[in-house]
Structure 1
Amino acid sequence: MAQDNKHMEVVLDTQVESVNLAEEMCLRVAEAAGFDEEVCYRIGMSVREGVINAFHYGNQERPDKKIHLAVDLTPEKLVIHVMDEGKGFKLTDVPDPLAEENILSTSGRGIFLMRAFMDEFAVVP
C-alpha cells in the first residue's frame, strides 16, 4: 500500500558528528516501526559502520564531500542506503577481518558487522 510507505533523505556533512545523527535518525524510524530492541541495536550499529566508512574511506574525511542517507520504510521492510562521494570499491578487495593476519587489526570490521547484522547487504558502485 503506497500510503503506508515512508521515504526520508538527508544529506550529511563529512564530519564525525554525522555518525550519531544518522544513527539516531534510523533508530527513531526503526523504533516507530515497532522493531524490537535487539533489531534496533543491529540497525543502529550497521548505520554507524556505514556512515563511518563513508566518512573515512569514501569521502576520505574531506569536508567538501557529503554523505547521503536514504531510509525507506514499507509494511514489509526497512531499507537504508548510505552513499558517499568517493570513487567506490569492490567488495572482493576488502580484506577478511577473520583472516589470521587481520585478527589483531584495529579496523576493517565494519562491512563484516553490517553483513552479520542485516538481512541483506550490498555495495553498489
Structure 2
Amino acid sequence: MGTNHGPSWTQRHTIPSDTRIGSDLVEDLIQEMGQRQWPAMDLFRVQLAYEEAIVNAVRHGNRNAADKVVEVEMTCCDERVMIRIRDQGEGFDPEKVPDPRQDSLLEVPGGRGVLLISEVMSEVHYNDIGNEVTMIKIKSDKAA
C-alpha cells in the first residue's frame, strides 16, 4: 500500500456544549491518520491537543451553556493535520495565561491546557478575540 491516499479528508461539525460529544469526534480523525500511516506518537499528540481544546471551548469558552455550540473542523492529508475549534464565548488572550511551570503556580489548577497544546502541536493560532484556536500538526519523521 502506498503512502498517498489522495485528496485531504475533512469533517465539519457544529455540536452542543457537551465534552462527551466533542470527544467522540476525534475518533474519525485518528482513524484517518492511522490509514495514512501517521506515527503513533503523532496520533497521541493530536488526540491530546484536540481533547484539551474541546474541553476549553465547552467549559471555559461556552461555560457549559446548553444554548451555545462549538464548531469543529478537522482536515487530514498525508503530511498535515489541521483542527479548528470555535466556541461562542467572549474569548481570551492566550498571551495573558500565566505559565503553569512557574514555582508559584505549580499547585494552581488551570492554564495547563494552553501550554500543553502549544507543546504537542507544530503550530497553534488564536483568532483576535480568542474564541477560536487553529492547531496544525506536521507529520513526524520518526515512527515513534
CA deviations on 1:3-34 (whole Å, 9 max, x unpaired) are 61222101111013124213323322322222
Does residue 27 in structure 1 map to residue 44 in structure 2?
no
Partner Cα separation in structure 2 for residue 66 and residue 20 of structure 1: 14
TM-score scaled by structure 2? Answer: 0.78
CA deviations on 1:90-124 (whole Å, 9 max, x unpaired) are 11121111112211123221011110100001111
Give the one of 63, 70, 75 matched to 1:72. 75
CA RMSD of aligned residues (A): 1.5
Give the one of 106, 109, 119 matched to 1:103. 106
Aligned residues: 123
Larger Rg, first or second structure (1 or 2): 2
Cα contact 2:71–2:86 (8 A) shared by 1: yes
Which deviates more from structure 2 when the two are superposed, residues 82-91 or residues 13-22? 13-22
Does residue 50 in structure 1 map to residue 53 in structure 2?
yes
Partner Cα separation in structure 1 for residue 126 and residue 66 of structure 2: 23
Report SS of the residue matched to 2:126. coil
Cα contact 2:19–2:54 (8 A) shared by 1: no
Alignment partner, residue 40 of structure 1: 43
Structure with the larger strand share? 2
TM-score scaled by structure 1? Answer: 0.89
Q: Which amino acid aligns with 2:60?
A: Y
1:7-18 to 2 correspondences below 5 Å: 7-18=10-21
Structure with the larger helix share? 1
Alignment partner, residue 139 of structure 2: none
1:81-120 to 2 correspondences below 5 Å: 81-120=84-123
Alignment partner, residue 60 of structure 1: 63
Partner Cα separation in structure 2 for residue 72 and residue 44 of structure 1: 13
**Structure 1 segments unaligned to the other structure (5+ residues):** none
Cα contact 1:26–1:47 (8 A) shared by 2: no
